[in-house]
Structure 1
């Protein structure tokens, strides 16, 4: 693995597209976090897309409320919320005048693996970041990033292009939702052992 400068932060235009297109395009990209000069990162291997009012599984399904309002934010904004005690890491991603976000579900650990193990208090690398709550804890992501712009060059949390991307993408219905669309909006890297299930 090369130094942290081996890849480039994704621009705002990357996130200003159809939500499901952004979700697929984020597979293979690198989620990178730096705290006190300590780096942790991982390759995105599983992700889900959530749309607007037409999507029964989306936080935006009941229109703009206090809880769902962040879904209308500008593309590239970070959305963090807790479900069953797990902090879920989302990024707002949609076309102009649309609504949508992507939920990062799993990473393949790259840098700072020993630090991730200490944060999660486990040794099993396959269980380190193979779930949305797990990856937030492993990378030290907390609520202070909620609403921040992940394309801001001053932010110590970002998503970057990898040097090489060579994999097949598979899709399925989303996990843990009581009602889903016919369209498959969960995307993951075929055969990757860090996919959540």
Structure 2
């Protein structure tokens, strides 16, 4: 896995996220990410390490989970050397396994909406703060798997839903995937 936030965000497109819940397995193919590199004022590591963002400062490959607006959990992976706070946000998945579990959690049967958007993704995979700090490079309750098929063309755009450093092209996505989130105009190039 690359030890560079932007490279990692691009590298993860097409790989899988696997979630083990009891005897059930839920997985999805990563089709959209956003990079929050060192020094990025929109990233959670920008102001330094705290008890809340500690996982961002671990070696690359650890889950950083936080609650946003008191409503939705967000799943990120730490992306740099230990002590450097940076990460990659998982924005969308193409569901692969455990689709019935995702449908129950998300209360929808529309496949393209199960894990499209970071809050939906976390809900579909049953992500919460108990997974914060988990090593995603080792098999356990949450891990990163290999690609299940060849990845299509990877596009870039500005990130979605931020107010600082808005012009940076740090969002990566599989062009043409119906599972990608955000405005279609941002996902065409």
Q: Does 1:148 pair with 2:134?
A: yes
- Partner residue in 2 for 1:86: 72
* SS of structure 1 residue aligned to 2:35: strand
* SS of structure 1 residue aligned to 2:10: helix
- Partner residue in 2 for 1:102: 88
Contact 1:19 1:95 in 2 (8 A): no
- Partner residue in 2 for 1:168: 153
Q: Displaced runs of 4+ in structure 1, greater than 4 A? A: none
| Structure of greater relative contact order (alpha carbons < 8 Å, 6+ residues apart) | 1
Contact 2:9 2:88 in 1 (8 A): yes
* SS of structure 2 residue aligned to 1:91: strand
Q: Does 1:192 pair with 2:177?
A: yes
Distance 2:166 2:82 in 1: 22
- Partner residue in 2 for 1:10: none
Contact 1:56 1:181 in 2 (8 A): no
Distance 2:110 2:156 in 1: 26
Output the TM-score relative to the length of structure 1.
Answer: 0.85
Match 1:75 to one of 51, 60, 81: 60
Tell me whether 106-115 or 176-185 shows the greater mean CA deviation: 176-185
Q: Does 1:43 pair with 2:26?
A: no
Aligned residue pair count? 181
Indicate the RMSD between aligned Cα atoms, in angstroms: 1.7
Q: Does 1:118 pair with 2:91?
A: no
Structure 1 unpaired stretches of 5+? 1-13
- Report the Cα offset of residue 181 of structure 1: 5.7
Distance 1:174 1:35 in 2: 31
Distance 1:115 1:144 in 2: 19
- Partner residue in 2 for 1:8: none
- Report the Cα offset of residue 162 of structure 1: 1.8
Distance 1:39 1:124 in 2: 20
Distance 1:152 1:166 in 2: 23
Distance 1:145 1:109 in 2: 20
